[in-house]
Structure 1
Amino acid sequence: MMKKEISLLFFFLCAFVYCQENDDFTKRLKALSTQSVTYYNIDGVDFSSQTYSYDFSEKSLKKIYRKFSIKDSDLKIKDESLSNNNIHVVKTQKITENLTQTNSYYFVEDNSKTITIIWFGYYNQIDKGFEKQYINRILKNEIPKEVFEPLIIDSIDFAGRKIKLGRNCSWTNINTVQCPYNGEINWSVHKDIESAKNAIDNQFIATKNRGGIKVNSEEQVAVIFEGIQTTAKKVIFDFTGMKSLMAGMSGGKTLTVYYVAEKVRNNYVGCVMSFWNNDNLTKDGLAPLLEEVMHLKI
C-alpha cells in the first residue's frame, strides 16, 4: 500500500488525546480495514483491532504477547468491567516531563471464542469509559459501515468535504494520506477546538523529541485553511542525523510541517501537513496535496 516513502506521521501515529464520547460520534469516527487489522480514529485517538484464530488459553496468549512485545514482567490483569474474558496490559513511555505516551492493550475472548486484540494509544490520561465503549462496539459489530473508508483511494472525506485525489495516493494510517513526491496530510475530527489543539500540540512535541531529529526553524504563519483565514505552526525538521527507514526511503533530508487546528463546516479539525525537501512544489512553495486544503496567505 505504501509507495516511495514511509510516512513520518505513520510512525509517530496520529496524536493521542483524552477523549470523552458523545452522541454524534459517527460524524467524527473514521475506520480503515485491511486484511488483518482494522484501524480507527476519533477525536485524535487512534485504536485498532485484530483477531487471531486461537483459543483463549495461557499457551495461546503467550504466543500473541510476543507479537505485541508484551514481556513476562509486564503487569497483566483482568478488567472486571468487561463482560468478555480478557487480559489488560498497559505500557507507558515518558516523552517529556509533561507528556507520556500510553499503549493500552486488551486481549479479549470474543464471541467466536477466539482472541481479539484491541489497542488504544493516548498521550497522558487514559479514558477507561471510552475504551470499554469501543471494545463493546467492536465485539458486537456495532461500528457503522458508513464510517469505513475504501482501502484504495479515489477520493477522501476531509471533515465533511469530498476531495478527489485519484489512485496515485495511498493510506499510511487511518486519516493519513500520502501522495508520493506530492506531500502528506493527517487529520482528525474533534468534539471541540481544545481537543483539536491538544492533538496537534502533542504530535509536534512527540516528533520534536524523537531521537536524531532537529528543529531547524519554527514560526507562526498566516494561512487559508479550507477557506478560513487562520494561523499555522510551520516547522522544518532536519533528518540528516537520523539514519532511519523513513528518511532513507524518501531520500529527503528536511521535512516541512504545518500544524493547524480550526473549526471547519461545524467540525473541529486538527490537521498536520508535510512534505520533504525533494518533493514537488507549486509556485507558492507547497506540495500539491497540501494545496487541496490549505494556501499560504500572501
Structure 2
Amino acid sequence: MKKITSIILFLLSIVTYCQNNDGFTKRLKAINSKTKTYYNVDGVDFSSETFSYDFSEKSLKKLYRKFSIKEEDLKIKDDSLNFNNFHITKSVKLTENLNAINSFYFVEDKNKTITIFWFGFYNKNDEVFERKYINRILNKEIPQEVFESITIDSIDFAGRAIILSNSCYWTNVNTIQCPYNGEMNWSIHKTIESAQQSIQNQFTSTKYQKGGKIINEEDVDILFEGTETKAKRIIYDFTGVKSLLAGVSGGKTLTIYYVASKVRENYVSCCLSFWNNDVKTESGLAPLLNKVMQIKN
C-alpha cells in the first residue's frame, strides 16, 4: 500500500511540475536595466521594479502618483497571491475593437519592500498569467539563461544565434534596432494561435494609429527562417506629417512585415520593418530582415 501511495505522489508531483513549468524558460526573455527588469513571453510585455518603501498607505500613495494611478482608480487586493498587494487595471481605447490594457500590481515582497509589476495586454488581461509570473519573479524562479546582455553582438532568435553589427541595440525585450539596417520585434509563443493573435493586434494597432497612413497593403509569400509562410506587408507613409519617428530616421515611408509562423520547435510572432532610406540588399530587404526572411518570387 505504501508503495502504491508513493507512486501516486510521485506521478502527481510530475504533473504539478509540468503544469507549473510549462516550458516557459524556452520562450521567456528578459533584460535588466539599472532599476527595472523587462520581460517578454507569449506576446506579452511586462516589467518589475522594486522600491525601498514599506507597504504603507503613505508609500503607496507616493508610488501611485509616480505611475499615474488616480485616487478614483479601483484598487483590488488579489487574494490568490500569497503576497500583500493591490491590483489596478487601466484601459486605453485604440480602435473600436482594440483596447490597450495596463495591469499594475503593487506587491509587498519578501523583503517587506514594494515591487511593482506592470503587464501590457490587448483587450483583456490574463490574471492567471500575471499571478504565475509574479510568483516566479518574487520566488526567484527565473533562470539566468533567459536574461540578455544590454550590449549585444548577437541575438538568440527562436533558438538560432544571429550575428549582428556593433551598431544594433535593444529598444525593448526582443526588439532590435539597427540604424539604417532595419528593425524587428518578436515573441515566442506556446501555440500558433497565440502568435497569430499577437501579430494581428500589432497590425491593427499600427493601422489605426495617428501620424501617417497605409498606402499599400498585401499578403506576400516568404521564407521565414527557412519555413514557407505568408506575411502581411504594408507601406506606411509619413509624408507631410510631423512625426518623431520619421524625424529621427529621416525617412518618408516605412515598409513593415507581419509574420506568425512555426520556427523549429517554437511558434513565433515577428514584426520587421525598414525605412525607404535604409540600406537595401539585392533582395530589396534591409540587412537585418534579410537574416531571417526572404521574399519568394
Question: Fold match, TM over 0.5?
Answer: yes
With over 3 angstroms needed to count, the CA separation of the structure-2 counterparts of 1:22 and 1:239, relative to structure 1, is farther
- Alignment size in residue pairs: 279
Q: Mapping of 1:127-166 within 5 angstroms? A: 127-166=126-165
- Secondary structure of 1:102's counterpart equals strand
Instruction: Return the alpha-carbon distance in structure 1 between the equivalents of residues 268 and 95 of structure 2.
Output: 25
Q: Indicate the SS of the match to 2:94.
A: strand
Contact 1:110–1:139, Cα closer than 8 Å, also in 2: yes
1-side partners of 2:248 and 2:59: how far apart? 36
Runs (4+) of structure 1 moved beyond 3 Å?
A: none
- Is structure 2 residue 59 aligned with structure 1 residue 56? no
Partner residue, 1:260: 259
Aligned residue number for residue 271 of structure 2: 272
- Give the partner amino acid of 2:189: H
Question: Are the counterparts in 2 of residues 211 and 242 from structure 1 also a CA contact under 8 Å?
Answer: no
Q: How does 1:8-157 map to 2 (within 5 A)?
A: 23-157=22-156
Is it true that 1:196 corresponds to 2:195 in the alignment? yes
Partner SS state of residue 61, structure 2: helix
SS in structure 1 opposite 2:128?
helix
Q: Which residue number in structure 1 is paired with residue 249 of structure 2?
A: 250
Give the secondary structure class of the aligned counterpart of 2:211.
coil
Which ranges of structure 2 fall in alignment gaps of 5 or more residues? Answer: 1-18
Q: Deviations over 1:53-101 (max 9, x none)?
A: 1221222222212221111221112112112111111001122232221
Structure 1 residue identity aligned to 2:118? W
Q: Deviations over 1:97-156 (max 9, x none)?
A: 322211100011111111111011111222211111110111111111111111111110
Q: Offset at 1:242?
A: 4.2
CA distance, structure 2, for counterparts of residue 226 and residue 163 of structure 1: 11
Give the letter aligned to residue 123 of structure 2.
Answer: N
Q: Using the alignment, how far apart are the partners of 1:242 and 1:81 within structure 2?
A: 48
CA distance in 2, matches of 1:151, 1:257: 25
Q: Distance in 2 between matches of 1:209 and 1:73?
A: 29
Query: What is the one-letter code of the residue matched to 1:24?
Result: G
Displacement of 1:212:
2.0
**CA–CA distance in structure 2, aligned partners of residues 238 and 258 of structure 1:** 15
Answer with 219-228 or 72-81: which moved more: 72-81
Matched residue type, 1:100: N
Mapped to 2, the partners of 1:199 and 1:42 lie a distance apart of: 11
What SS class does the counterpart of residue 51 from structure 1 fall into?
A: strand
**CA–CA distance in 2 between the matches of 1:38 and 1:270?**
22
Assess if the C-alpha contact under 8 Å between 1:237 and 1:255 holds in 2: yes
Match of 2:16 in 1: none
Provide TM-score, normalisation by structure 2: 0.90
Relative to its length, the structure with more helix (as a share) is: 2
Letter in 2 for 1:93: V
Show structure 1 runs of 5+ residues with no match. Answer: 1-19
Cα shift readout 1:23-67 (whole Å, capped 9, x = no counterpart): 211111111111111111111011110111122122222221222
Identity of aligned residues (%): 66
Which whole-Å CA distance do the structure 2 matches of 1:110 and 1:287 have between them? Answer: 45
Q: Distance in 2 between matches of 1:125 and 1:76?
A: 17
**Counterpart amino acid of residue 63 in structure 1:** K
Shift of 1:167: 2.2
What secondary structure is seen at the aligned counterpart in 1 of 2:287? coil
Q: Greater Rg, structure 1 or structure 2?
A: 2
Deviation at 1:22, TM superposition (A): 6.0
The residue that corresponds to 2:232 in the other structure is: 233
Please name the residue that 1:12 is paired with.
none
> More deviation in 54-63 or 255-264?
54-63
Amino acid in the other structure paired with 2:66:
K
TM-score if structure 1 supplies the norm length?
Answer: 0.90
RMSD of aligned residue pairs (Cα, Å)? 1.5
1:107 & 1:247 partners in 2: Cα distance? Answer: 36
